[in-house]
Amino acid sequence: MATETNGAETGGLEFHPMDQFIVSPLFSDDASVAWYTITNATFWMALAVLATFAMLVLGSARRSVVPGRMQSVAELAYGFIHKMVEDICGKEGLKFFPYIMTLFMFIVMANFLGLIPTAFTPTAHFSVTVVLALAVFITVTVVGFVKNGAAFLSLFWVSSAPLALRPVLAIIELISYFVRPVSHSIRLAGNVMAGHAVIKVFAGFAAIAVISPVSVLAITAMYGLEVLVAFIQAYVFTILTCVYLKDALHPAH
């Protein structure tokens, strides 16, 4: 409400940069949202799933030894994540390849679909990224203890440091371990949200005729940046997942 009032005072400018993140029901005028309500979030998540399906399943439908365009894209995505998991986690990490691929495909598709004007971006929501990050955190912790037992705790005991420093380092390591899901989730949602909000702010300035060309240029530039961010943040989220998983598989420093 505050922005609206301010907008009115500064000559008809209206900024609603955060309205694009509002969750609203698709098939009802009633604004109440229960956990099962089909909302715009549902719709765009479903689109992300469909896009993943189209890219990886329909793309590889022909199974040709010499790939066509669509199959090349599917194979590229497969090879990209497969190599990342193998390089970082080693051979035994490949068990988790479908899981990591799921995270990557969902995030990258949600990010890119969110770049369509008037779209809703699920990955700009902490509710979504927190679940994703917590899933990774819980998986890593469980896998770490199941595979290594108590030896997993050696992750916090830096054996290469002088003995006197080790308890201090253990506390720091422990804190950093529990901060991981926080930074993991806020990084993704924060980046995506900030870019989308900035584009909306620039769009608000376009109402002033003199500034509008600059505004349009700025939106274009920001959009280009956002295309990069959409991919890079998905990549960063995935690679961090691999790094955390590596800790669970090989906890020794």
Partner 1 sequence: MATVTTSDGLADATGIATHAAETPGMPQLNFDHWGNQIFWLILALIATYLILSRVALPRIGAVLAERQGTITNDIAAAEDLKVKAQEAEAAYDKALIDARAEAQQIVAQAKADMQADLDAEMSKADAEIAAQVAESEKAIAEIRAGAMDNVQAVAKDTAEALVAALGGTADATTVDAAVDARMKG
The residues of the shown chain that bind partner 1, judged by CB under 8 A, are 1-4, 16, 18-19, 21-24, 31-37, 39, 41-42, 45-46, 48-49, 52-53, 56-57, 60, 63-65, 67, 71, 74-75, 78-79, 97-99, 101-103, 105-106, 122, 124-128, 131-132, 135, 189, 193
Q: How far is the CB of 182 from partner 1 (least distance, A)?
A: 15
Helices 212-249, 166-205: inter-axial angle, 10-degree rounding: 160
Q: Max CA-CA distance within the chain?
A: 67
Which is closer to partner 1, CB of 126 or CB of 205?
A: 126
DSSP state of 251: -
Q: How far is the CB of 226 from partner 1 (least distance, A)?
A: 18
Which is closer to partner 1, CB of 5 or CB of 160?
A: 5
CA distance 107 to 128: 10
209: buried, middle or exposed (CB in 10 Å: 19+, 13-18, 0-12)? exposed
Which is closer to partner 1, CB of 28 or CB of 176?
A: 28
**Beta carbons of 186 and 193 less than 8 angstroms apart:** no
Q: How far is the CB of 8 from partner 1 (least distance, A)?
A: 12
Angle value at C-alpha 111, between 243 and 42, nearest 5 degrees: 110
Run of H or E residues at 61: none
Q: How far is the CB of 117 from partner 1 (least distance, A)?
A: 18
CA distance 229 to 248: 28
Which is closer to partner 1, CB of 58 or CB of 217?
A: 58
Which is closer to partner 1, CB of 110 or CB of 155?
A: 110
Q: How far is the CB of 63 from partner 1 (least distance, A)?
A: 5
